[in-house]
Amino acid sequence: MIDDINRVIEGEKILLHNPRLNELWYRKQLYKDEKTMEFADACKHEIDNWPPKDESEIKEWYVENNVNMSNFYSYIVEKETRTPIGEVAIYYHTKFNKYMIHIIIEHSHRHKGYGSEAVELLLEYVFKVMNLDAIYEIREPNRVEVKNLFTKFGFETMEDEKELLWLTKREYNAKN
């Protein structure tokens, strides 16, 4: 449970909470959960290089992904219980030279609408606060549910990069 919910984006059932450095215990726990992370073997991304080797690498990761204003990292927290149930992030992917969305929901909390609400809140943040022109998701064949989630919000497969889904600010604004 997270007692002092700060730096929050509030939704109906969830909060997106930017964790403090001393709250990274949850990320460690999340990445050790074998059921939750079953998909990860086929999709190692820059943001998934966890856990760092030592405290200095943890601090470096924290600054890059939680303090640096060009990236955004947040826990998905169930509002009623104040319990973290996953994570979302926006990060710059150096291989593709694009901003990417990253989402993980704990296995036991999937299919309850938390992922949809988290993506909805994150897209609003991406286009209204970060003011990005487009956002991308890596298309992974073993994550059909994630692809379905993103296509529900208007993401489409890029013609020149079959492994990427994308959504532009213009398309987002037209739908909202």
Q: Where are the domains of the chain?
A: 8-175
Q: Is the pTM of this model over 0.85?
A: yes
Spatial distance between the Cα atoms of 94 and 73, rounded to a whole number of angstroms? 17
Residue 25 has pLDDT above 80, yes or no: yes
Spatial distance between the Cα atoms of 120 and 138, rounded to a whole number of angstroms? 18
Residue 47 has pLDDT above 70, yes or no: no
- Residue 110 is inside which H or E element, if any? none
* % of the chain surpassing 90 pLDDT: 41
CB 54 within 8 Å of CB 154: no
- Which pLDDT belongs to residue 12? 96
State residue 75 phi and psi, 5-degree precision: -80, 145
156 or 6, greater pLDDT: 156
Residue 37 has pLDDT above 90, yes or no: no
CATH architecture assigned to 8-175: 3-Layer(aba) Sandwich (3.40)
